Structure 1
């Protein structure tokens, strides 16, 4: 069994400004750095074997901060990237009234089926690469929700959103 510490990256400049980041790199703000440092402090004595992150900067930076007390490097994977929001990327979230009705969304947004397939691929990769290990993985709000949706076999809308730097544990 692989034990997964699933973490959402710390708060970013765009999170605070309510900007849809999607697959942009993003940058942690001071609060996000502090959040990652708090997770590092909370988990510093946990025997974590490996640290994995999305290949987007906001997650890598969060994971590097969390991994520092363990003196371990961070492995990155695009499987943990945030949902591709297509034409919504960079937009002010409160202006996206269409968000509530997916039939009105632009066609270039990554589908729920595609993101759940990516989540399942990540989980299979994790089991194969890190069997019987404790792994901390830093991802993003929607991909983390998709991972939990697959894990619990529930629709994504039944999975509670993760706050910035929140940790959830899953036994794979």
Structure 2
């Protein structure tokens, strides 16, 4: 068996996937640390994602401490014969009093909820956890939309809300050489097409 290359997550390229549709996604409810399961649609999305990754040479998969990421990873893990690396530090944001409430009650993605994590505390937690992850590569991080936004924020993209659907797959690639200003990464789809990442007007404060 060939030796596997171990590397820090943020030392090089890595794949990212948002979990499949959860039962709370289906209801348009807030589910940060609420441990929602996948809906029937989410289970099918997870199976479809595994097919998209069939030709990809993955040797590790990272999941968070929330079950919806574990369920989403199962078809990929079975296909690749892998066991997941679990990192609860990459969990979705704690939305405090908004947990389980309709999304319409949330003023903004970057709103600091009563009893929950502030945006900055959440982004700091995600970044610390990402900096400490060390796994065999190539790797897939299977996490949450909030995790995705926090990583982008800490990479220098600003407060952004890029459209990343359930079970959507992208790749984070370091730019070489790194630019003098701005993010040193790009995000592309599996075909290599760059993702447009721009702040929305409501979140540009």
Tell me which interval the TM-score lies in, with the shorter structure as reference length.
Answer: 0.7 to 0.9
Cα 1:120–1:68 shift into 2, 3 Å: same
1:11 aligned onto 2:29: no
Q: Higher relative CO (CA 8 A, sep ≥ 6), structure 1 or 2?
A: 1
Q: Show the counterpart of 1:114.
A: 121
Gaps of 5+ in 1: none
Separation in 2, partners of 1:8, 1:35: 11
Assess if the C-alpha contact under 8 Å between 2:110 and 2:119 holds in 1.
no
Q: Show the counterpart of 2:196.
A: none
Separation in 2, partners of 1:109, 1:141: 17
Q: 2:157 aligns with which of 149, 154, 157?
A: 154
Gaps of 5+ in 2: 1-10, 175-205
TM norm structure 2: 0.73
- The CA RMSD over aligned residues, in Å, is 2.0
SS of the aligned residue for 1:99 comes to: coil
Q: How does 1:27-106 map to 2 (within 5 A)?
A: 27-94=37-104, 96=105, 99-100=107-108, 106=113
Assess if the C-alpha contact under 8 Å between 1:6 and 1:170 holds in 2.
yes
Q: Which structure: larger Rg?
A: 2
The structure 1 segments of at least 4 consecutive aligned residues displaced by more than 6 Å after TM superposition are: none
Q: What is the total number of aligned residue pairs between the two structures?
A: 164
Q: Which has the higher helix share?
A: 1
Q: Show the counterpart of 1:144.
A: 148
